[in-house]
Amino acid sequence: TLIICYGMFHGGMIQILAGMWEVYRGNIFGGNAFTSYGGFWMGFALFEILMVISPLNPPAKDGKAVWLAVWGVFTLLNFIGTLNANRVVQFVFASLTTLFFMLAIGVHSHGMHVAAGYVGIICGSSAMYLGWAEVMNELAGRELLY
């Protein structure tokens, strides 16, 4: 329940708001990324809630694998967009791309699903570092960290 709540609000709603702020600042890439992944988390959380409170049948495993693979392709395209950015941004998108494809394979493989969990921890940690570094750089008025 905790993961679903944070997925919906911090992963979803807050990222969508951050995306809108990025567009306002003229950062279209950031706006695209934040709003897209915010929508992903909102949809994922709603799906998990509906699976518990409604009589819906769970989707076929192949459907879930394709859905995750499509997000992997979208993230790969975003990764290509980071090639002019700093290495931490590139690492976040490279690891997120890897994570989505591992999760897609993990739908049919428990071992891959577990390995994807570790990649997710690394990806999430690097994204948290990136966010913190950007705040520290903004406070300092110059680039200190990356």
pLDDT per position as a tens digit, 18-61: 999 999 999 999 999 999 999 999 998 998 888 888 887 877 88
The single residue listed with the structure tokens 């994807």 is: 116
pTM: predicted TM-score of the whole model, two decimal places:
0.90
Whats the size of the chain, residue-wise? 146
CA distances from 30 to 40, 64, 133 (A): 15, 26, 16
Task: Name the packing angle between helices 61-81 and 28-53 (round to 10°).
Answer: 170
pLDDT tens digit sequence for 80-127: 999 999 999 999 999 999 999 999 999 999 999 999 999 999 999 999
